[in-house]
Structure 1
């Protein structure tokens, strides 16, 4: 896995204007973030079935990575809006989707939410899509299924800054997750569309207190939990691997043979010193 470090903002909406995106990333770096994910949204309900791979390739971030070299670790993220479980079949056939560092599923009805918690092959579940999306609360059973699979729920803070109605939705969603006694399943992200919507990690940690999280849990939601998500995402991308470890301090076979021969020579020398003739070897 690529080396990452906190604090993390795993949701920076992609913008085609690179200067606007640069301004947001620069503000994130100035307030203390060190790992960010550029988020591209794909609406699976409106996909083009005529192409071989319905999922787009990740945006080219080479220029931005060069500008923030040794400052920010910039990753690619894809958010998939879906309503049916056919999305899993399309994801399995896609080659582009494995190029993303992070996959987030955004279900927009209860059926899709059940699928997201039980089967969706992603890393996170998002609860907010746009202003027209209806927010619905999920029962304890769904949360248990997601927790057993290691799926995390995303709570973005920037929509609460942009819209008063979304502010209520964000607080309700976060408190609903906490009410199921799963504070470790929450990851707090940004979602800022301009530098003025960016908040420092410590402001976000204080916001977590409103959600019902403790100070330690709030900091973990933008640091340790994010790193855990990225580690699991790497496992999803590359699958299981076998690693062979070798102790370099142990002598090699050649060294062992040399030591044995040296020992035999020393033994023969000792025997000659003691007056015993060396043993004669017979060859047939």
Structure 2
């Protein structure tokens, strides 16, 4: 049985509405959701990165997933709205508070950097409006090789007919470039009425130009790959130093020998 995921439930500050969103997602059959904190840095002054609220404070008891006997898994996600290269800080410690890290670039140069160099999990595509720039296959394939996925959201198409046309056209443009690889479809819902069931989303992806198989991967396998990529991004930052332990029989344990003192200290620490 497939594990469905929605990696974009927009955090608006209304905890009651957020609880309804999570409960609706669980009722529709989603096993994993991500609460998305949208961060728009100020170019003139250094805006601090928001800290996510503890899951236990938002939802004390996670609801049970429909058709499964386990509670829904809730992740925290940060999306950086980028209009300048300084908005992404590679060594920012606050990024580690989030399970997933995404960026939404506004220019072709930022899009290229996000695809080729940024240590992120998702690249958000603004499909609900006219594309601010056009991109080519080379940076997209570079992102795919690094395991970075592209996200298309559908909730804006529910709110407005004009955005619906843009969403369909832009999603088809991207699916034609990436051929459905590493493409994630999420809701970006702010209210419970804006989220749709996973099978409805799979049908919607066919309007995006995806095949039936790619449409299913967009809400299952590709989402799981993004979650695993986020886990490795948070943990793959350590350094291991190894050295050969000296043989005690070959060490001169003389009290006056500085090398012997260092060797005894190494042996003591090793034991």
CA contact (8 A) 1:6 1:33 kept: yes
SS at match of 1:180: helix
SS at match of 1:179: helix
SS at match of 2:156: helix
Displacement of 1:81: 0.8
In the alignment, the residues of structure 1 paired with residue 176 and residue 87 of structure 2 have an alpha-carbon distance, to the nearest angstrom, of 30
Number of residue pairs the alignment of both structures matches? 233
2:51 corresponds to: 57
CA contact (8 A) 2:78 2:98 kept: yes
CA contact (8 A) 1:155 1:173 kept: no
Bigger CA radius of gyration: 1
Structure 1 unmatched ranges of 5 or more: 243-284
Q: Does 2:103 correspond to 1:109?
A: no
Q: Cα–Cα, structure 1 residues 24 and 16, in superposed 2: closer, same or farther, change >3 Å?
A: same
Q: Does 2:2 correspond to 1:8?
A: no
2:41 corresponds to: 44
Task: Give 2:116's match in structure 1, choosing from 111, 115, 118.
Answer: 118
Q: Give per-residue Cα distances to partners, 1:148-167, cap 9 Å, x unaligned.
A: 22111100011111122221
1:170-249 equivalence runs, <5 A: 170-239=167-236
Structure 2 unmatched ranges of 5 or more: 64-69, 240-271
CA contact (8 A) 2:128 2:157 kept: no
Query: CA-atom RMSD, angstroms?
Result: 2.3
TM-score, scaled relative to structure 1? 0.75
Displacement of 1:45: 3.8
In the alignment, the residues of structure 2 paired with residue 210 and residue 41 of structure 1 have an alpha-carbon distance, to the nearest angstrom, of 27
